[in-house]
């Protein structure tokens, strides 16, 4: 039986993420920054959905959302979450787990106003995750927002539209291999500013 070294080095997981992310940005046909976000309420009931990564670095991974949505309510109730990146074109996955913190109002403002006018209006008009009797009701709210904030004016960011940063305490890298002999390495640390330990895992 031949032996084979892991293709996932025991190195800085943030640097490894950067390397894989650059390749994904070049190879994935759509939304290479898409990630599954898993949250849970205080009763431990989980839910998961896709969101978009909007910033990352050694301080964590940032996404934006309506804090009055289902995911926002779960985040506020239980400031822990998990992320999953799956890049099918590269046959790679990265799992990330850790506590969440809300970004500053200035960061939320800056990102909100970097979005297209249509996206700003659509977000401001939406009661995300709440029941909607008819889509025409939403379209009417969009029209009211367009009248209140004509294109070219500054759309006020709703106070409940904000961002969150996940500070990783675990990062796990998965690489597809023939015969389902996949390559996995998990990095863990006891707190956000601590050093990392790493462990190879059975597939």
Compute how many other C-beta atoms are within 10 angstroms of the C-beta atom of residue 131. 5
State the pLDDT at residue 129.
Answer: 79
**Would you say the pTM of this structure is higher than 0.75?**
yes
> In degrees, to the nearest 5, what angle opens at C-alpha 85 toward C-alphas 79 and 90?
170
For 60, counting Cβ atoms within 10 Å of its Cβ (0-12 exposed, 13-18 middle, 19+ buried), the class is: buried
* Unique residue bearing structure tokens 């969440």: 100
Q: Domains, the chain, ranges and CATH? A: 13-115+159-201 (2.30.110.10)
Residues 6+ apart with CB under 8 A from 19: none
State the pLDDT at residue 131.
Answer: 85
Q: E strands of the chain, at which residues?
A: 34-40, 46-52, 55-57, 60-66, 80-87, 92-102, 161-166, 170-175, 183-188, 197-201
End-to-end CA gap in the chain: 17
State the pLDDT at residue 196.
Answer: 96
Question: Residue 103's closest CA among 157, 154, 64?
Answer: 64
Please report, in tens digits, the pLDDT of each residue of the chain (203 residues total). Answer: 556 678 888 889 999 999 999 999 999 989 999 999 999 999 999 999 999 999 999 999 999 999 999 999 999 999 999 999 999 999 999 999 999 999 999 999 999 999 999 999 999 998 887 888 889 999 999 999 999 999 999 999 999 999 999 999 999 999 999 888 899 999 999 987 889 999 999 99
State the pLDDT at residue 128.
Answer: 84
State the pLDDT at residue 7.
Answer: 86
State the pLDDT at residue 3.
Answer: 61
- Positive or negative, the Cα torsion across 71, 74, 139, 153? negative
Cβ atoms of 126 and 142 within 8 Å: the answer is: no
């Amino acid at each position: 039986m031949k032996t084979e070294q892991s293709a996932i080095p025991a190195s800085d997981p943030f640097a490894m993420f950067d390397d894989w992310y650059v390749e994904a940005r070049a190879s994935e046909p759509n939304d290479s920054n898409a990630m599954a976000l898993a949250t849970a309420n205080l009763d431990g009931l989980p839910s998961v959905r896709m969101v978009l990564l909007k910033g990352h670095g050694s301080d964590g991974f940032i996404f934006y959302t309506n804090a009055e949505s289902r995911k926002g309510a779960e985040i506020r109730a239980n400031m822990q979450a998990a992320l999953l990146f799956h890049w099918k074109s590269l046959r790679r996955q990265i799992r990330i787990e850790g506590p969440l913190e809300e970004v500053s109002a200035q960061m939320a403002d800056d990102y909100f106003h970097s979005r297209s006018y249509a996206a700003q209006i659509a977000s401001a008009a939406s009661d995300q995750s709440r029941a909607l009797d008819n889509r025409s009701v939403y379209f009417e709210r969009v029209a009211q927002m367009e009248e209140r904030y004509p294109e070219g004016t500054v759309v006020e960011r709703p106070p409940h539209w904000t961002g969150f940063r996940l500070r990783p305490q675990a990062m796990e890298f998965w690489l597809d291999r023939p015969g389902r002999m996949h390559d996995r390495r998990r990095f863990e640390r006891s707190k956000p500013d601590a050093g990392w330990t790493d462990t190879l895992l059975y597939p």
